[in-house]
């Protein structure tokens, strides 16, 4: 008991020190030094080119909109995101935004933000809660549709190749995250009535390149040449998996159909080499919509509950040499 109360006291002292160290700004009874809107943003980490591109875009758009951005990198840990949101509350920012690493476990800190009267914007990923009104809106991709688009490509590919049996392995993203849950649901719902489709195994790659390689080594050892399709939830894991497929003596994109999601430059380059067959775009460029929404909230204006960016599919069905530079 003593340890816990000491931790609580230390937490409160640290928050107070943080506020004092930054005093004279934020909403503590006065506008930030230059009157700018102050946005606190808790970013998941730097696990992928997508995430790095998302951070870069948010920083650039904050600059363009003249918004004071406090961005904290949580290094994939939910507890770091919760601590960051508590610091933003203590600092009395105007708006808090975050990309939740997983869907559950946010109620307490979001109730604290609600009590503090600070609106919350969800960026990229969603939360799962029983409480109404903890957040104002979600700005991010339609991950279910991305899974559907990946499966629709596979069905077309199987048709064009005249396949009667399609053995699939899935390398999934971070467990319990919105993109992992919804990409998987969209893909599986779309193939479930196609008797040719058979999922040999689904394995958690945590959106990481290193885990993508580990997962692919395990799947190749277990299923070998019975694998006909690799469905990977993001480019990092796909790029980690490809050398393992080649080491095992197979030609990715030829002996195995490779389907990936994100659409970063590295994956598009590999698509152009013919080692990936399909890349479903998931744009990280959410910064402009985030800044516009934060300004509306600060001005007391209504905001759209859900903002999905438009997204496309890049695949060997078209002339991939014409794909413009991706910017992430
Ligand atoms: C998707 C985003 C995912 C990307 C991964 O919007 O949440 O997280 O697909 C990233 O690359 O790690």
Same domain for 218 and 163, yes or no, is: yes
CATH number at residue 295: 3.40.50.2300
Which residues, other chains included, contact 74 with Cβ-Cβ below 8 Å and sequence gap of 6+?
Answer: 42, 43, 44, 45, 80, 81, 84, 101
Shared domain check, 305 and 223 = no
Q: Are 66 and 295 in contact (CB under 8 A)?
A: no
Q: Are 42 and 85 in contact (CB under 8 A)?
A: yes
Assigned token pair, 297: 């909230």
- CA of 103 relative to ligand 1 center, distance in Å: 14
The answer to whether residue 17 sits within a structural domain is: no
Question: Is residue 45 located within the same domain as residue 172?
Answer: no
- The answer to whether the beta carbons of residues 227 and 249 sit under 8 Å apart is no
CB-ligand 1 contact for 126 (6 Å cutoff): no
In which domain, by residue range, is 71 found?
A: 36-141+284-311
Domain-located, residue 167 = yes
Specify which residues 259 forms β-bridges with.
Answer: 231, 278
Ligand 1 binding pocket includes 281 (Cβ within 6 Å): no
What pLDDT is recorded for position 31? 44
Domain shared by 131 and 211, yes or no: no
Question: In this predicted structure, what is the pLDDT of residue 16?
Answer: 52
Cα 293 to ligand 1 centroid, rounded to whole Å: 21
Per the domain annotation, does 92 fall within a domain? yes
Q: Number of folded domains in the chain? A: 2
Separation of CA 318 and ligand 1 centre (Å)? 25
The answer as to whether 152 is a domain residue is: yes
CA-to-CA distance for 270 and 258, rounded, in angstroms?
11
pLDDT for the residue numbered 155: 98
Residue 35: what pLDDT?
A: 77
Is 172 found in the same domain as 188? yes
Ligand 1 atom showing the smallest separation from residue 125 Cα:
7
Cα separation, 85 vs 200, in Å, equals: 41
* Per-residue pLDDT at 308: 95
Model pLDDT, residue 7:
59
Distance CA(199)–CA(220), nearest Å, equals 14
Q: Which ligand 1 atom lies nearest to the CA of residue 261?
A: 9
**Is 141 touching ligand 1 by the criterion CB < 6 Å?**
yes
Q: 118 and 208 share a domain? A: no
Question: Beta-carbon neighbour count of residue 292 at 10 Å?
Answer: 16
| C-alpha 121 to ligand 1 mean position (Å) | 17
Q: Is ligand 1 within 6 A of the CB of residue 180?
A: no
**pLDDT tens digits for the chain (328 residues)?**
455 565 555 555 555 555 444 443 334 333 455 678 999 999 999 999 999 999 999 999 999 999 999 999 999 999 999 999 999 999 999 999 999 999 999 999 999 999 999 999 999 999 999 999 999 999 999 999 999 999 999 999 999 999 999 999 999 999 999 999 999 999 999 999 999 999 999 999 999 999 999 999 999 999 999 999 999 999 999 999 999 999 999 999 999 999 999 999 999 999 999 999 999 999 999 999 999 999 999 999 999 999 999 999 999 999 999 999 999 9
Q: Say yes or no: CB of residue 328 within 6 Å of ligand 1.
A: no
User: What number of other Cβ atoms are within 10 A of residue 223's Cβ?
Assistant: 14
Reported pTM: 0.90
Q: Which helix H or strand E contains 179, and what residues bound it? A: helix 178-191
Per-residue model confidence as pLDDT tens digits over 91-107: 999 999 999 999 999 99
Rounded Cα distance, 258 and 5, in Å: 52
Shared-domain flag, residues 273 and 288 = no
How far apart CA 276 and CA 195 sit, in angstroms, is: 24
Same domain, 162 and 53: no
CA atoms within 13 A on the CB side of 69: 24
- Please choose from 282, 285, 287 the residue to mutate so as to test ligand 1's pocket, defined by most ligand atoms within 8 A of CB: 282
Mark whether 248 and 295 lie in a shared domain: no
In whole angstroms, what separates CA 259 from the centre of its chain? 17
Question: Are residues 273 and 160 part of one domain?
Answer: yes
Tens of pLDDT along 115-142? Answer: 999 999 999 999 999 999 999 999 999 9
User: Does residue 262 have its Cβ closer than 6 Å to ligand 1?
Assistant: yes
State the closest ligand 1 atom to the C-alpha of 49, by its place in the atom list counted from 1.
Answer: 11
Q: Is residue 272 part of a domain?
A: yes
On whether both 153 and 277 belong to a single domain, the answer is yes
261, part of any domain = yes
111 within a domain of the structure (yes/no): yes
Judge whether 320 lies within some domain: no
CA of 315 to the centre of ligand 1 (A): 20
Residue 17, pLDDT score = 52
Q: Same domain for 184 and 250?
A: yes
pLDDT of residue 24: 37
């Amino acid at each position: 008991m003593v340890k816990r109360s000491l931790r609580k006291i230390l937490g409160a002292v640290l928050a107070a020190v943080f506020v004092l160290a930054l005093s004279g700004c934020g909403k503590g009874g006065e506008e930030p030094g230059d009157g700018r809107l102050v946005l606190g943003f808790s970013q998941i980490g730097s696990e992928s080119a997508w995430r790095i591109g998302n951070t870069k875009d948010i920083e650039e758009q904050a600059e363009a909109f003249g918004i004071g951005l406090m961005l904290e990198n949580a290094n994939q840990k939910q507890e770091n995101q919760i601590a960051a949101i508590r610091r933003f509350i203590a600092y009395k920012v105007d708006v808090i935004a975050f990309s939740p690493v997983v869907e559950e476990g946010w109620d307490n800190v979001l109730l604290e933000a609600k009590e503090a009267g600070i609106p919350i914007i969800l960026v990229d990923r969603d939360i799962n809660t029983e409480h109404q009104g903890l957040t104002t809106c979600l700005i991010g991709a339609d991950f279910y549709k991305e899974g559907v688009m990946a499966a629709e490509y596979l069905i077309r590919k199987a048709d064009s190749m005249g396949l009667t049996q399609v053995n699939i392995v899935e390398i999934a993203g971070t467990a319990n995250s919105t993109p992992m849950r919804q990409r998987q649901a969209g893909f599986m719902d779309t193939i479930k009535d196609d008797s040719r489709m058979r999922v040999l195994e689904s394995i958690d790659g945590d959106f990481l390149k290193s885990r993508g390689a580990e997962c692919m080594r395990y799947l190749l050892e277990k299923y070998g040449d019975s694998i006909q399709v690799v469905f990977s939830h993001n480019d990092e894991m796909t790029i980690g998996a490809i050398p393992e497929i080649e080491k095992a003596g197979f030609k990715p994109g030829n002996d195995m159909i490779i389907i990936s999601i994100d659409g970063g430059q590295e994956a598009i380059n590999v698509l152009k080499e013919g080692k990936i067959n399909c890349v479903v775009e998931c744009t990280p460029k959410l910064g402009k919509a985030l800044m516009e929404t934060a300004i509306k909230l600060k001005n007391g204006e209504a905001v759209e509950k859900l903002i999905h960016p438009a997204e496309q599919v890049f695949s060997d069905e078209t002339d991939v040499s014409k794909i413009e530079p991706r910017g992430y």
